[in-house]
Amino acid sequence: DTGVSQDPRHKITKRGQNVTFRCDPISEHNRLYWYRQTLGQGPEFLTYFQNEAQLEKSRLLSDRFSAERPKGSFSTLEIQRTEQGDSAMYLCASSPSSGSSYNEQFFGPGTRLTVL
């Protein structure tokens, strides 16, 4: 399978704990995006990387959130001191940075976070 993969698929944690999610993009894609989706809503943009550089961050990404893509391949999203409002599906997507599919983003299966 050469699609976007995410790990874990599900995470249940207690309020105040830290959690980290991983995303492996499609291998030839330079761009990697993180989105958050709450129940009954469309995904909301969080941040994106061009190779290892984090180029844009949404206002939704509070100080408790940090994302990295150290070698320009996989990415991690960490949430510190989780709150119940962080419960959501966290989606990762990737896209090539040029060519006819420039704007097409391909999504992974998501990580469902539940904060108790």
Partner 1 sequence: TQLLEQSPQFLSIQEGENLTVYCNSSSVFSSLQWYRQEPGEGPVLLVTVVTGGEVKKLKRLTFQFGDARKDSSLHITAAQPGDTGLYLCAGADNAGNMLTFGGGTRLMVKP
Interface ranges with partner 1 (CB under 8 A): 4, 6, 31, 33, 35, 40-45, 48, 55-56, 58, 91, 93, 95, 101-110, 112
Q: How far apart are CA 22 and CA 69, in angstroms?
A: 10
Is residue 104 within 8 Å of residue 93, measured between CB atoms?
no
> For residues 75 and 105, which CB has a smaller minimum distance to partner 1 in the complex?
105
As measured in angstroms, the least distance from the Cβ of 115 to partner 1 is 18
Q: How far is the CB of 43 from partner 1 (least distance, A)?
A: 5
CA pair distance 7, 5, nearest whole angstrom: 7
Nearest distance, CB of residue 81 and partner 1, angstroms: 26
d(CA 17, CA 81): 5
Is the Cβ of residue 78 or residue 104 nearer to partner 1 in the bound state?
104
Looking at beta carbons only, is 18 or 62 nearer to partner 1? 62
**Rounded-to-integer distance, Cα 66 and Cα 77, Å:** 6
Based on CB atoms, which residue is closest to partner 1, 16 or 24?
24
Residues comprising the chain, all counted = 116
